[in-house]
Amino acid sequence: MKHLVRITTPEELAAFGAGESVSLVSADELNHHGADAHWILADGNNRLAARCSLWWKSVPDHPGRRLGIIGHYAARDAAAAAKLLCHAVTELAAEGCTLAVGPLDGTTWRRYRFIVERGGEPAFFLEPDNPDDWPHHFMSAGFREFASYSSSLNTDLNYADPRMAAVAERMRRQGVTIRHLDPARFDQELDAIFELSLIGFQHNFLYTPIGRDEFKTSYLRVQPFIRPELTLIAEHEDRTVGFLFALPDMLQAQRGMAIDTVVMKSIAVLPGKTYGGLGNLLMVQTLGNISELGYRRAIHALVYDSNSARNMSAQYAQPMRRYALFSREIP
């Protein structure tokens, strides 16, 4: 007989075992992701059948709605998913939430979204994955697509945007310089990128900030795989005003292939007319660097389909995968 249990400490979680296709949430996630509740659905042998965390206190603003967030999601099958998601929505309703949103691990800095249209390309480095039935779990529980995202593939690295020469000249006249990441100053580079991200991402859909330490830890994990020539930093008057972070697709190497693809992961530019076009310029220059280093393809990764970065990548790349975030009205 399956039973629901609210977990508050790693010690409580240790009494349960991972189930088929459902791992335990990590102690780090439980302790540091700030969830307001973590629920598991366990079978008679105390093996996990499903799990999720809930957030309702520190959540993104959304016009006319009080959001409740469902994240850290995993489920063995449709029956377990139905029981867990029904309970999650009931819990969020009791806390006064009017719209349930998921999957989202508390903030868009962490894991969120499901793959909903997989396409023919294999997974790429740092791409989140999920079983194909998990989106159907949410839809069967009354959720509908709330936001759409995509990754696009560029196989023509020699495309030249005719507008970029004028943008480059305008940036030069204004004193904006563009350089590669300096690995000898990696910690200082991360501090500057963090400060820029707080401003450059603040209007992104469902954005909430994270702390400096968590931000830097996420980059330190991939530091061994970074090629400095693939990350560009724009500076103006001794201040970082834009960056584009890219790195080789290390999953190709894990599959025994030569690495011919670069994943363009993040881009941010300070708002305002002064830096108009800088994002596109960073993208074009990065594509040139990718080609010069001998790579053949670039992936514009995990872009919200309604923001300016999607408009930029559409000029150079074709969609290869689609993702979605889901929501359900709470009466």
pLDDT in tens, 233-242: 999 999 999 9
pLDDT band with cut points at 50, 70 and 90 for residue 310: low
* Inter-CA distances, 32 with 27, 36, 64, 108, 220, Å: 8, 11, 29, 15, 17
State the pLDDT at residue 21: 84
We find that the CATH architecture of domain 3-148 is: 3-Layer(aba) Sandwich (3.40)
What DSSP string runs through 174-186? HT-EEEE--GGGH
- Global pTM reads 0.94
**Radius of gyration from C-alpha coordinates of the chain:** 21
Which residue(s) pair with 7 in the sheet?
A: 38
Query: Is residue 303 predicted with pLDDT exceeding 70?
Result: yes
What DSSP string runs through 25-79? PPHHHHHHS--SEEEEEE-TTSBEEEEEEEE-SS---BTTB-EEEEEEEEESSHH
Q: Where in the chain is the domain with CATH 3.40.630.30?
A: 154-323
Domain 154-323 homologous superfamily, CATH:
Gcn5-related N-acetyltransferase (GNAT) (3.40.630.30)
Structural tokens at position 187 = 């910690």
User: pLDDT by residue (tens digit) across 30-66?
Assistant: 999 999 999 999 998 999 999 999 999 999 999 999 9
Contact 150, 310 (CB under 8 A): yes
State the pLDDT at residue 143: 98
Query: Across all residues in the chain, what is the average pLDDT?
Result: 95
